[in-house]
Amino acid sequence: MAFHARFVADSVLGDELRTNDFARPVREQRRAALDQLFRSEVLVGGTLGATLYGPEGRVTYSTDHALIGRASRRPATSMETSVQEWAGTKALNVYVPVRVGQGEAGTFALHQDYGPIAASARKAFIPVAGVLELALIGLYLSLFPLLRRVTRRLRGHLEEIEHQALHDGLTGLPNRDLFRRRIDEALAEAQQRRTGVSVLLLDLDRFKEINDTLGHQSGDLLLQALAKRLETLIRDTDTVARLGGDEFAIVSPGAGNEGDALVLAERIRAGLEAPFALAGLTVEVEASVGIALYPDHGDDVEALIRHADVAMYNGKKTHRPMLYSPKDDHYSPDRLALVGELRRAIANRELVIHYQPRVELATGDVHAVEALVRWDHPERGLLSPGEFLPLAEHTGMIRPLTRYVMDAALADCAGWAQEGLRPGVSVNLSARDLLDADLPREVESLLSKHGVDPTLLEVEITEHTILTDPERARIVLERLRDLGVRLSIDDFGTGFSSLGQLKRLPVDVLKIDRSFVLNMEHDDNDDVIVRSTIELGHNLGLRVVAEGVETQETWGRLAQLGCDTAQGFFISRPLPRVVLVEWLKKRGSEEPPRRMRLVG
Ligand code: C2E
Ligand code: MG
Ligand code: MG
């Protein structure tokens, strides 16, 4: 038992314990870590528990948490034993002085249930027990030098294994486990000094594309080069780690506030600007960066990593390093409450659909309307899709939501047909929808449920949506196309889809993103983009729709450029179903050339 205590103190604890563990009663998080360490490494057989004492004799940690913080014994200078009650049980206690790092740190104690020891001592002759104990001590002393050598070698091996366990094989950077440890250490120090810590998460944009086009080997080379580059961009006190895939992370105890963190993020961004040379090719990379700060955004490892991740995800949209903000956090308690409400909203049919007409520029005819979902929230009023779609997309609610919208839009489409109106309807899909192989079957059954001609249905997908998994998306889209459903690429020009990809997809329509159309009157570049997109679409045999047409001038210019169809506030805002029917009837009765009026 004494031997066990000494061995534990020498080999296991010397590495695992920190000076801080003896300096003051440990915090809750560290206490949990120590509980685990002791449970897995130390507590064997009849061992009741273990205790750490600081240099002044205060209990800084004990497996019996009630003892933590109590002052109870002077520090041990060499191994000592006692038979005394411990945590309500008579125990054999062994105290061993422990060094952590260089100096003397405190005392480590193991408490062994005395009952079985006493019983076996009583059973045997007590003198025999005494002799045995002496013999054991003799044996221990004689074996000590050998043991030290073995321990040293063992420790060498252990260090190697530990290095492997805590570092990433490809780049040699610390891995996720070590990264968490480093954050933990930085937090302990920051707490003491009342300073801050920043945690940055980096994710390469388009790494998958690089990997797919240049091959995995080049992908690996890029990650290695990137790791080296990142190491040159941080300070000695910072740690850069690879968390997996193309995700890297930095913990910086030096960057303790927003300003410092943003400066660091900017240094990283600028540092990644120079292209990487890979086997004769130069590759440019860009990374999205998310930042979470201690103490503002969280005070433990989990919260900081998760919040930096949320910020990074938002950074992907803005292409700027982003600080965590609870309002963008889909998992914050507020948002979680909303998830429950959204589920209820779908069940209670609180989601409503507004329809925005699309008008043929040449004839003024309306061949189609776009279904745009809104949430008629009992307390918050009418919520726009931007306020709840990201939530639905993050929580698996998007599939039921899409089904709901599709069902309602097809029901309305069937209703219009009965009133002698015949616009088709287009429904927006999200990435998750396209990854679901069941979608085509679902669409087919909704079409037949409402008796709508499949050619009247169009689905809109963004370039971004396809990029998540182009192969799977293509399969789903082809099956939709086989049903007769039309397909349009929404927000065209904002993503990265290549012409090659576009050509491979069964697309019928390109919708030019409204950001280009809105400004084309004032911005020559936007005008050029719109013009060339129209040409591109026509060359590929597609029809081209311009979104965001707000003025007569834009309408005129689009007509001049030969654009096929326009959609925007100049023609009509998205309208509730009943209002749309009125609007369509009124237009139908007007004689061409129809005047464009602003409605809504
Ligand atoms: P989107 O598909 O690009 O839809 C067009 C958006 O532009 C609509 O915003 C519409 O109100 C707005 N818009 C139309 N004309 C103009 C204009 O002249 N000027 C300006 N400034 N804006 C105009 P909304 O309804 O807020 O929808 C935003 C986005 O939410 C949609 O963009 C679409 O991506 C998504 N969305 C809407 N409904 C659904 C849905 O049922 N399912 C899915 N997955 N996404 C949807
Ligand atoms: Mg759309
Ligand atoms: Mg759009």
Query: Tokens in use for 429?
Result: 């899909």
Residue 465 alpha carbon to ligand 3 centre in Å: 12
Nearest CA to ligand 1 atom 7: 548
Q: Are residues 322 and 182 in the same domain?
A: yes
Query: Domain holding 13: CATH number?
Result: 3.30.450.20
Nearest CA to ligand 1 atom 45: 428
CB 516 within 8 Å of CB 549: no
In a domain, 385, yes or no: no
Q: How many CB atoms lie within 10 A of CB 148?
A: 11
The pLDDT assigned to 54 comes to 86
| Residue indicated by tokens 């049980």 | 89
Domain boundary among 279, 304, 328: 328
Evaluate: CB of 385 within 6 angstroms of ligand 1: yes
Query: Domain holding 470: CATH number?
Result: 3.20.20.450
Give residue-wise pLDDT tens across range 202-241. Answer: 988 878 777 777 888 888 999 999 999 999 999 999 999 9
| Residue indicated by tokens 């309408």 | 555
The pLDDT assigned to 333 comes to 64
Q: How many CB atoms lie within 10 A of CB 529?
A: 19
| Three-class DSSP category at 296 | coil
Evaluate: CB of 493 within 6 angstroms of ligand 1: no
In a domain, 141, yes or no: no
Evaluate: CB of 569 within 6 angstroms of ligand 1: yes
CB 453 within 8 Å of CB 416: no
Evaluate: CB of 572 within 6 angstroms of ligand 1: no
DSSP 144-159: HHHHHHHHHHHHHHHH
Residue 574 alpha carbon to ligand 1 centre in Å: 9
Average pLDDT, the chain: 86
Nearest CA to ligand 1 atom 17: 548
Q: Are residues 413 and 316 in the same domain?
A: no
Evaluate: CB of 513 within 6 angstroms of ligand 1: no
Give the residue, 326 or 533, on which the prediction is more confident: 533
| Confidence band for 598, pLDDT divided at 50, 70 and 90 | very low
Q: Are residues 99 and 200 in the same domain?
A: no
Evaluate: CB of 458 within 6 angstroms of ligand 1: no
Residue 528 alpha carbon to ligand 2 centre in Å: 22
Strands 575-576, 59-62: pairing kind = unpaired
Q: Which domain holds residue 113?
A: 2-118
The sign one gets for the Cα dihedral 34, 36, 40, 42 is: positive
Smallest-distance ligand from the CA of 385: 1
| Confidence band for 280, pLDDT divided at 50, 70 and 90 | confident
Split into its structural domains, the chain has a count of 3
Nearest ligand 1 atom to alpha carbon 570: 18
Domain boundary among 298, 328, 358: 328
Query: Tokens in use for 65?
Result: 């948490």
Nearest ligand 1 atom to alpha carbon 405: 41
| Confidence band for 92, pLDDT divided at 50, 70 and 90 | confident
In a domain, 570, yes or no: yes
Q: Are residues 434 and 508 in the same domain?
A: yes
Of 10, 8, 15, 11, nearest to 44 (Cα)? 8
Query: Tokens in use for 99?
Result: 């060094």
The sign one gets for the Cα dihedral 465, 467, 472, 478 is: positive
Residue 226 alpha carbon to ligand 1 centre in Å: 38
Q: Are residues 550 and 448 in the same domain?
A: yes
CB 350 within 8 Å of CB 378: yes
Q: How many CB atoms lie within 10 A of CB 27?
A: 15
The pLDDT assigned to 77 comes to 78
Q: Out of 351, 358, 372, give the residue to mutate to test ligand 1, the one with the largest number of ligand atoms within 8 Å of its CB.
A: 372
Domain boundary among 82, 98, 118: 118
Q: What's the CA gap between 85 and 234, in Å, rounded?
A: 53
Nearest CA to ligand 1 atom 33: 428
C-alpha torsion angle, residues 116, 120, 126, 132 (rounded to 10): -100
Q: Are residues 204 and 294 in the same domain?
A: yes
Evaluate: CB of 490 within 6 angstroms of ligand 1: yes
The pLDDT assigned to 473 comes to 87
Neighbours of ion ligand 2 (CB under 5 A): 428, 460, 490
Nearest ligand 1 atom to alpha carbon 491: 3
* Single-letter residue type at 131: V
Smallest-distance ligand from the CA of 519: 1
The pLDDT assigned to 595 comes to 43
Q: Are residues 93 and 205 in the same domain?
A: no
Smallest-distance ligand from the CA of 551: 1
Interhelix angle 176-193/301-318, rounded to 10 degrees, is 110
Q: Are residues 64 and 194 in the same domain?
A: no
Evaluate: CB of 491 within 6 angstroms of ligand 1: yes
Q: Are residues 303 and 408 in the same domain?
A: no
Give residue-wise pLDDT tens across range 282-338. Answer: 888 888 899 999 999 998 998 899 899 889 887 777 778 899 987 777 666 666 677
Q: Are residues 420 and 564 in the same domain?
A: yes
The pLDDT assigned to 113 comes to 83
Whether the per-residue pLDDT at 593 is higher than 80: the answer is no
In a domain, 414, yes or no: yes
Evaluate: CB of 440 within 6 angstroms of ligand 1: no
Evaluate: CB of 574 within 6 angstroms of ligand 1: yes
Nearest CA to ligand 1 atom 28: 385
Smallest-distance ligand from the CA of 358: 1
Evaluate: CB of 514 within 6 angstroms of ligand 1: yes
| Residue indicated by tokens 């221990």 | 140
Percent of the chain with pLDDT over 90: 48
Query: pTM score, two decimals?
Result: 0.55
Residue 390 alpha carbon to ligand 2 centre in Å: 15
Q: Are residues 292 and 408 in the same domain?
A: no
Query: Tokens in use for 431?
Result: 């990435």
Q: What's the CA gap between 240 and 461, in Å, rounded?
A: 37
Burial pattern 107-137, b for ≥16 Cβ within 10 A else e, equals: bbbbbbbbeebeeebeeeeeeeeeeeeeeee
The pLDDT assigned to 351 comes to 96
The pLDDT assigned to 46 comes to 74
Give Cβ neighbours of residue 32 (< 8 Å, ≥ 6 apart).
none
Name which of 123-127, 397-401, 512-516 the model is least confident about. 123-127
Nearest CA to ligand 1 atom 38: 372
The pLDDT assigned to 125 comes to 54
In a domain, 361, yes or no: no
Residue 211 alpha carbon to ligand 2 centre in Å: 30
In a domain, 491, yes or no: yes
Give residue-wise pLDDT tens across range 334-387. Answer: 666 777 888 889 988 999 999 999 999 999 999 999 999 999 988 888 999 988
Residue 247 alpha carbon to ligand 2 centre in Å: 31
Length of the chain: 600
The pLDDT assigned to 90 comes to 87
Query: Tokens in use for 582?
Result: 């009125």
Q: Are residues 477 and 558 in the same domain?
A: yes
Nearest CA to ligand 1 atom 3: 491
Question: Longest Cα pair distance anywhere in the chain, in angstroms?
Answer: 119
Query: Tokens in use for 256?
Result: 């303790």
Residue 40 alpha carbon to ligand 3 centre in Å: 56
In a domain, 383, yes or no: no
Instruction: Give the chain's radius of gyration (CA, Å).
Output: 34
Query: Tokens in use for 40?
Result: 């897995």
Evaluate: CB of 384 within 6 angstroms of ligand 1: yes
Q: What's the CA gap between 536 and 516, in Å, rounded?
A: 15
Mean pLDDT of the region 387-399: 83
In a domain, 161, yes or no: no
| Confidence band for 200, pLDDT divided at 50, 70 and 90 | very high
Evaluate: CB of 459 within 6 angstroms of ligand 1: no
Query: Domain holding 255: CATH number?
Result: 3.30.70.270
Burial of 436: CB neighbours in 10 Å, binned 0-12, 13-18, 19+: middle
Evaluate: CB of 220 within 6 angstroms of ligand 1: no
Q: Which residues pair with 412 in a beta bridge?
A: none
Residue 408 alpha carbon to ligand 2 centre in Å: 16
Residue 385 alpha carbon to ligand 1 centre in Å: 8
Give the residue, 591 or 426, on which the prediction is more confident: 426
Mean pLDDT of the region 58-87: 85
The pLDDT assigned to 145 comes to 65
